[in-house]
Amino acid sequence: MAAEQVTYPILLKGELTEPPARGWWLIKWLLIIPHVIILVFLWIAFIVVWIIAFFAILFTEKYPRSLFEFNVGVLRWTWRVGFYSYEALGTDRYPPFTLKSVDYPADLEVPYPEKLSRGLVLVKWWLLAIPHYLVVAFFLAGGPLGWEQGNGSASGPGLIFVLVIIAAVVLLFTGRYHQEIFKLVMGLNRWSYRVCVYAGLMTDKYPPFRLWD
């Protein structure tokens, strides 16, 4: 089963491995530690690049392409690790250590915008995105992307994590990943990453309030 979004300017791909191992998810928290360590530094760099891009867009209406590709790469790496672990548990293939798009069941692409609004760059990442932040905080709570997007103050698991663990328990006893849960998890992740792309100044198109396209 595959799920992807192509209408909004972000493509989020996730192909469910059939069948995932029944109990492998129990130790994935340990296996992703090397990725988590690297992602901490990558997200620090993401924020620095965001600041540089903010002023570049403000004065030139352009997001420097090399910086744009770097930040897309950080999102891509984050999504691969999340898809492998507790944002989806969609595959048992270990994520590659690269910012580039490679042959992997999960991928993320954002088309490069030739021009961005100087006015929107001042308000879209905080004022305009507030309604989405409230929704996404419920999806993520204290989960991985929640920390990376600055929502780590939320306590308890988010809806995505709860649904994924339910699917994992069902998988443990039946050997099957519930298809409807996977579809819902992909929709919630899609919404979250769209908001991240918008707040990351990578597009001026406002994210839709929906899971599907």
Q: What is the pLDDT of residues 154-203, one digit of tens each?
A: 457 899 999 999 999 999 999 999 999 999 999 999 999 999 999 999 99
Whether 14 shows a pLDDT value over 80: the answer reads yes
Q: pLDDT at position 1, please? A: 55
Q: pLDDT at position 202, please? A: 98
Query: By the 8 A CB rule, do 132 and 124 touch?
Result: no
Query: By the 8 A CB rule, do 13 and 1 touch?
Result: no
Whether 144 shows a pLDDT value over 70: the answer reads no
The tally of domains found in the chain comes to 1
Establish if 7 belongs to a structural domain. no
Burial class from Cβ neighbours inside 10 Å (0-12, 13-18, 19+) for residue 44 reads exposed
Establish if 138 belongs to a structural domain. yes
Question: What average pLDDT does the segment 133-144 reach?
Answer: 82
Lowest mean pLDDT among 79-83, 148-152, 187-191, 203-207: 148-152
- 22 vs 70: CA distance, rounded Å: 35
Sorting pLDDT into bands at 50, 70 and 90, what band is 153? very low
Peptide bond into 64 cis (omega under 30): no
- 99 vs 20: CA distance, rounded Å: 25
Q: pLDDT at position 20, please? A: 83
* Domain residue limits at 115: 22-199
Q: At what angle do helices 130-140 and 179-199 cross, to 10 degrees?
A: 140
Establish if 55 belongs to a structural domain. yes
- 206 vs 111: CA distance, rounded Å: 15
Which of residues 149 and 11 earns the better pLDDT score?
11
Establish if 205 belongs to a structural domain. no
Q: pLDDT at position 155, please? A: 57
Establish if 17 belongs to a structural domain. no
- 25 vs 153: CA distance, rounded Å: 25
Query: By the 8 A CB rule, do 151 and 130 touch?
Result: no
Q: Which tens digits make up the pLDDT trace of 87-113?
A: 999 999 999 999 999 999 999 999 999
Which of residues 68 and 6 earns the better pLDDT score?
68
CA of 90: how far to CAs of 22, 86, 172, in Å? Answer: 12, 9, 14
Establish if 208 belongs to a structural domain. no
Whether 151 shows a pLDDT value over 50: the answer reads no
- 111 vs 139: CA distance, rounded Å: 25
Establish if 4 belongs to a structural domain. no
pTM over cut 0.85: yes
Q: pLDDT at position 18, please? A: 80
Sorting pLDDT into bands at 50, 70 and 90, what band is 2? low
Q: What percent of the chain stands above pLDDT 70?
A: 91
- 77 vs 80: CA distance, rounded Å: 5
Establish if 212 belongs to a structural domain. no
